[in-house]
Chain A
Amino acid sequence: MKLATFLKFTLPSAVTMAVLLALPLLMTIWLSVVNCSPVLELQKTEQTGPFGSHVVTAQRFKVDANGQALKSCQFVGFDFYKNILGIQSSSAAGPVDQKLPTDGHNEFLNALSFTLLYTAVTTPFILLIGLVLALVTQKISDRFKGLVISMALLPFIITPVVGALAIKWLFRDDGLVFNLLSHVGVQIYWMSEAWSAKLLVIFYGVWHVSPFAFIVLYAGLQGVPQDSIEAARLDGASKLQVLWFVTLPHLAPLTIFITLIHLMDSYRVFEPILVLTQGVFTTSVQFLTYSILLDESNPYKASAASVLTLVGIGFLLAPLLKRTWNEQRNSR
């Protein structure tokens, strides 16, 4: 292929990817190593309102002639990263020797450990449930397949916030599940202990994502060569052996695909933590980034948290990407 033709084909996607992916990423990396803080002045203010008047002495942002807040920006290197990781304080904006909280509590490590737990537990379950659903659907009558597929896909179609709310209402005090379990003598207050709150978030993850695995594997099952299955049966293979030696190898690339997607998604787990448990006993790397960005209103530190998330995803995906890379190379 001529270079000019090659460029004509690739340039639009290359430019789009540069603008939509590479540039924001570079900007995020840049934001994570700087800190802009406002220029303040001390002011005594008398506030008068519905409750009478009172005086507060506190800092107020200085503004320029156009009303824009004056800011002072400085390069802070990896200070925000160190701060998030609990290694040391940021000297970001006038550093102080930050001591770690005296009981060694570290927000990022807590978030990371639950994120990894969530990822590790949900991944095999969604693969297994997706496979079982796909195999069962394959076997049922064509007349009911449409209905079963639609119903099975429902949790995946519902937006995550709505899904998390629905689960919350089922499990909260006097919720349906709470009441049903109470009738058989089991009374679980799901948000009262760490294990139950974590279990609930993991349950939500499995419930929400299994349909995705199901539909992909079900599509994969349609492509399993029937002659191989028939040959195996003629050779006397049992159903389990056919599944193990013929069907599953055929589905292996799809399994890797589902795992890749779910690893990325689950590392960014957010909605169930925000809605379902409101962060009680559960937190995640993405939830932490959100909190830094919106609650602390610190886009610079949040950028550092985002980059750390990206690095984490990279580590998680590395073995699978390496395997895919090797397969592609060997197939040439």
Chain B
Amino acid sequence: MQRRKLIGFALPLVVNPAAFAASICRESKYRADVNIVANSFPVIQHLAKVAKSCASDSLKVNVKLTSKVQNEVEIAFSSSGKSPFDAAVVSASVFNDLYSKNQLYSLKGLVNKFKDHHKIEEKMIVRMNGEPMAIAFMQNTQVLYYRRDIFKRLGLSVPKTYDEMFATAAIIKKLDPAIANPIAQCFSKGWDLATEFTNVISSLGGRFFQEGTALPAFNSEQGVQAIELMRQMLPYMSPNALASNADDVMNQLQQGRAAMGVLWASRASRMDDPTASKVVGLIDFAPAPAARVGGGTAAHLWWDGVVMPRNGPNQRDATFAVLMEMLSESSVESGNDLAIWVRSNFKPGRASTGVKLAMEAGAKIWPAEPFFNLAHLQLGKVLADAVKGLRDPAQALAGAAEAYKQSAIEKSFLKRDLA
């Protein structure tokens, strides 16, 4: 009987190490029904498990994982009634949007009250003019993944610019018939392609907006150069590249069908997952190439964190306790390899060097202007045709700029006389 009890106690801990961490959020005996919305990728799935470990007879915890978290959050946080979600796990981009809309609850009181209790580190707190508005838990960026074995065998060095990358790809394509498409990169129409464009134009020294205004500046010479550079990449990629998202790119690298490519640093550990990867231990990481000699790495720095809505239900303490459990030291410990955590007890492994590499190579912080997403969206619509060569790059950018101006006017970011 005692053995059975022991097994009953130990089994959940073996199956789900997060169960170790259940104590902090449960000790206060909160009575609440906490609902959290979040994206759905491995580290967030881990956080969801930790959150659910807080559940007790009096505390219910639901975590909705969805790939459309931005849409869900926008609708819930802007509702004139109470938000159906008490909190959300969001990226820096979504955070900037929500902050500009004044839809976030200030965490000042909660941070002051619980900072020591939950060991919240200063670098985790995202402050806007000194006011804590989010708690960050992971960092992210895009880095170059490359096959160490192929590079060594062919005597290649790691490319530092995109021109070098194309030259390297041409050699691999010629000398290694098994790799028909040496480069795998997120060129999927829409968000992915617009993000690549943002990285490249930034590395080329181009601007997205005219200084101090919401007027577009991406329809520039650097914008055209960015598209032309992306077009040069196509011959070295799968012909399906314009429909390749991060999952497809990860798959191509894991299956050994590509020799290099720029991908999210947070996916690095998946390369060494023996259940999904044929190239365990063979992929190394370097900063994403610069778009020109002397330019910074063509990548941006991101963080992900937790926020609470201004219109959230009145159960802030319980919600905060669950959120802090998700971001606790024990959660970081049990999910160490799933992300590049902000917390100090994170032990960086081979696959966790991305952010450091990108920062050293001059990566900039992802744009925080509230109208940036509108421009990004319009670019996502036109870039596929322009990169493919079906539309003239300058005309496509002019079209995106006009469409952006229109939507910025509709949202009051631009006035007609200024546009």
Whether B368 pairs with A58 at a CB distance below 8 angstroms is yes
Whether B188 pairs with A68 at a CB distance below 8 angstroms is no
Out of B102, B123, B377, name the residue touching A60 (CB < 8 Å): B102
A189 CA to B305 CA in the complex, in Å? 38
CB-contacts of B296-312 with A (<8 A): 301, 303, 305, 310-311
Q: What sequence of 0s and 1s flags, for each residue 83-105 of chain B, a beta carbon within 8 Å of any chain A beta carbon?
A: 00000000010000001111100
Out of B239, B241, B243, B385, name the residue touching A277 (CB < 8 Å): B243
Given contacts A45-B129, A58-B368, A94-B416, contact A173 B238 (CB under 8 A): yes
Q: What sequence of 0s and 1s flags, for each residue 131-170 of chain B, a beta carbon within 8 Å of any chain A beta carbon?
A: 0001010010000000000000000000000000000000
Q: What sequence of 0s and 1s flags, for each residue 87-104 of chain A, a beta carbon within 8 Å of any chain B beta carbon?
A: 001111111101111110
Given contacts A39-B412, A58-B100, A103-B399, contact A280 B370 (CB under 8 A): no
A227 CA to B279 CA in the complex, in Å? 69
Whether A94 pairs with B411 at a CB distance below 8 angstroms is no
Whether B398 pairs with A189 at a CB distance below 8 angstroms is no
Given contacts A278-B245, A280-B384, contact A58 B396 (CB under 8 A): no
Out of B92, B102, B310, name the residue touching A62 (CB < 8 Å): B102
Whether B413 pairs with A40 at a CB distance below 8 angstroms is yes
Given contacts A50-B303, A67-B311, A278-B189, contact A37 B252 (CB under 8 A): no
A60 CA to B252 CA in the complex, in Å? 42
A279 CA to B189 CA in the complex, in Å? 7
Whether B407 pairs with A102 at a CB distance below 8 angstroms is no
- CB of A112 to closest CB in B, whole Å: 16
Residues of A near B212 (CB, < 8 A) are 57
Whether A172 pairs with B74 at a CB distance below 8 angstroms is no
A197 CA to B252 CA in the complex, in Å? 20
Residues of A near B128 (CB, < 8 A) are 45-47
Residues of A near B293 (CB, < 8 A) are none
Out of A57, A63, A67, A189, name the residue touching B239 (CB < 8 Å): A189
A39 CA to B370 CA in the complex, in Å? 14
From A118-126, A211-219, A293-301, the one touching the partner chain is A293-301
Q: Does A322 contact B (CB under 8 A)?
A: no
A323 CA to B144 CA in the complex, in Å? 62
Question: Closest residue to B370 on the A side, CB-wise?
Answer: A58
A49 CA to B123 CA in the complex, in Å? 6
Residues of A near B392 (CB, < 8 A) are 103
Q: Does B223 contact A (CB under 8 A)?
A: no
Whether A56 pairs with B369 at a CB distance below 8 angstroms is yes
Q: Does A24 contact B (CB under 8 A)?
A: no
A96 CA to B100 CA in the complex, in Å? 24
Out of B125, B240, B371, name the residue touching A172 (CB < 8 Å): B240
Out of B240, B242, B409, name the residue touching A92 (CB < 8 Å): B409
Out of A51, A67, A68, name the residue touching B365 (CB < 8 Å): A51
A39 CA to B392 CA in the complex, in Å? 37
Whether A101 pairs with B410 at a CB distance below 8 angstroms is no
Whether B402 pairs with A101 at a CB distance below 8 angstroms is yes
Out of B71, B311, B410, name the residue touching A35 (CB < 8 Å): B410
Out of A51, A60, A174, A279, name the residue touching B301 (CB < 8 Å): A51
Q: Does A183 contact B (CB under 8 A)?
A: no
Given contacts A47-B128, A294-B68, contact A93 B402 (CB under 8 A): no
CB-contacts of A56-88 with B (<8 A): 56-63, 67-69, 72, 83
Residues of B near A72 (CB, < 8 A) are 412
**A contact residues, range:** 35 or more
CB-contacts of B54-103 with A (<8 A): 68, 71, 74, 78, 80, 92, 99-103
Whether B303 pairs with A103 at a CB distance below 8 angstroms is no
Q: What sequence of 0s and 1s flags, for each residue 392-411 of chain B, a beta carbon within 8 Å of any chain A beta carbon?
A: 10011011001101110111
Whether A174 pairs with B399 at a CB distance below 8 angstroms is no
Whether B412 pairs with A38 at a CB distance below 8 angstroms is yes
Residues of A near B248 (CB, < 8 A) are 172-173
Q: Does A192 contact B (CB under 8 A)?
A: yes
Out of A49, A63, A93, A101, name the residue touching B398 (CB < 8 Å): A101
Residues of A near B245 (CB, < 8 A) are 278
Q: Does B280 contact A (CB under 8 A)?
A: no
A50 CA to B392 CA in the complex, in Å? 40
A69 CA to B99 CA in the complex, in Å? 12
Q: Which of A38, A48, A51 has the most CB of B within 10 A?
A: A51
Whether B405 pairs with A96 at a CB distance below 8 angstroms is yes
Out of B102, B123, B129, B139, name the residue touching A46 (CB < 8 Å): B129
Out of B80, B127, B239, B310, name the residue touching A47 (CB < 8 Å): B127
Q: Does B7 contact A (CB under 8 A)?
A: no
Q: Does B44 contact A (CB under 8 A)?
A: no
CB-contacts of A190-204 with B (<8 A): 190-192, 194, 197
A50 CA to B355 CA in the complex, in Å? 11
Whether B411 pairs with A99 at a CB distance below 8 angstroms is no
Whether B398 pairs with A56 at a CB distance below 8 angstroms is no
Whether A56 pairs with B136 at a CB distance below 8 angstroms is no
Given contacts A50-B136, A94-B415, contact A37 B399 (CB under 8 A): no
Q: Does B391 contact A (CB under 8 A)?
A: yes
Whether B391 pairs with A105 at a CB distance below 8 angstroms is yes
Given contacts A49-B303, A90-B410, A101-B398, contact A278 B188 (CB under 8 A): yes
Q: Which of A62, A95, A294, A296 has the most CB of B within 10 A?
A: A296
Whether A93 pairs with B412 at a CB distance below 8 angstroms is yes
Residues of B near A192 (CB, < 8 A) are 239-242
Out of A101, A191, A300, name the residue touching B403 (CB < 8 Å): A101
Whether B101 pairs with A190 at a CB distance below 8 angstroms is no
Q: Does B126 contact A (CB under 8 A)?
A: yes
- CB of B171 to closest CB in A, whole Å: 22
Whether A174 pairs with B257 at a CB distance below 8 angstroms is yes
Whether A93 pairs with B368 at a CB distance below 8 angstroms is no
Q: Does B282 contact A (CB under 8 A)?
A: no
Whether A83 pairs with B406 at a CB distance below 8 angstroms is yes
29 contacts between A and B (CB under 8 A): A37-B411, A46-B127, A46-B129, A47-B126, A47-B127, A49-B123, A49-B303, A49-B305, A51-B359, A56-B368, A59-B371, A59-B412, A62-B102, A67-B310, A69-B101, A89-B409, A91-B416, A92-B410, A101-B395, A101-B403, A105-B399, A191-B239, A191-B242, A192-B242, A278-B188, A280-B189, A294-B68, A296-B407, A300-B410
**Apart from A67-B310, A91-B416, A173-B257, 14 more pairs, CB < 8 Å:** A47-B126, A47-B127, A49-B126, A50-B124, A58-B370, A60-B102, A60-B370, A94-B416, A101-B403, A173-B252, A191-B243, A294-B71, A296-B377, A300-B410
Task: List B residues at the A interface (Cβ < 8 Å).
Answer: 68, 71, 74, 78, 80, 92, 99-103, 123-130, 134, 136, 139, 188-190, 212, 214, 238-243, 245, 248, 252, 255, 257, 301, 303, 305, 310-311, 342, 359, 365, 368-371, 374, 377, 381-382, 384-385, 390-392, 395-396, 398-399, 402-403, 405-407, 409-416, 419
